Amino acid sequence: MDNLVELERNSAFAAKLDSVKSLLKGKKVVVALSGGRDSALLSYLSSHYAKKTRAIFIQSELAPSIEATQAETFCNEYSIPFEIIHLSTLSIQMIKQNGALRCYYCKQLILQNLEEIAENAGFTLVVDGTNYSDLLLIRAGLQALRESRVESPFALAQITKKDIIEISRHLGLISQNYTSQACLASRIPFDIPITEDLLESIDQSENFLRSFLPEIHTPIRVRVQQMLPTKQYLARIEGGPELFVLLEQAEIRAKISHHLKDLGFTYITIDLEGFQSGSMHRML
């Protein structure tokens, strides 16, 4: 708490934090907690500013398993009331079919559920971790957010992605080194139908790769491409510099190849350009 008071009084973030505080103060707040750095910081601030806070993680087929772990660990560390809500996003055909508006329908479903949960439990405000930098991106999910009653305190206060990193570090939050995960569907090209089996294979593959770098916070993605006419799956691995160093070891490469093939991938490749957020859009 002392670090937060110092930030509020003496830092370049004072005015921005005051804006967040003004929005949350005196309210009963549900925080849409994704398990990432942005919503983790928002949960922390809400627990100090709001009258009452409940962080809710939506557990769906599209959520990487590491996010649920991070969300629960964070809330336990800072004594933030936490709840996991199970929601089947693949029950919606417009999501399962994986068209260009998949993200819109998924975000809409999640936000509607959060609003309903909040209303039934007597909460007055639902917030999410969308930040000011996110507004510059082309994301179908942002439209669903605009159509909802959910507020984005960081975006309203013009708090950027860089600001969130610096604030989290100053506060010493365990989330400061969390890397962005994004939903598992972002690993699959549009118009390839999403199945639970494919999502599970992607999630297990990324967790396996991550197990070789347990102390290194580097983004890891296993992107999927379908090979025609056989419809076999190719796994394209993206990662940071640490992953490239790891893959110099023939024994490690063999273990990864064997494990990913066991998970259903016929071809295992490495993207030499490394991790790139939104790289699947190159295929549009």
**pLDDT tens-digit map of 62-119:** 999 999 999 999 999 999 999 999 999 999 999 999 999 999 999 999 999 999 999 9
Residue 150 and residue 247 in one domain: no
Helix, coil or strand: residue 237: strand
| H or E element, residue 220 | strand 220-227
Residue 25 and residue 83 in one domain: yes
Total domains, the chain? 2
CB 148 within 8 A of CB 110: no
Distance CA 131, CA 157 (A): 9
Q: Structural domain of residue 243, as residue ranges? A: 184-283
List the one residue out of 222, 233, 199, 227 whose CA is nearest residue 275. Answer: 222
Residue 68 and residue 203 in one domain: no
Quick: pLDDT tens for 147-189.
999 999 999 999 999 999 999 999 999 999 888 788 999 999 9
The residue among 177, 203, 219 that closes a domain is 177
Residue 103 and residue 75 in one domain: yes
Residue 49 and residue 147 in one domain: yes
CATH code (residue 161)? 3.40.50.620
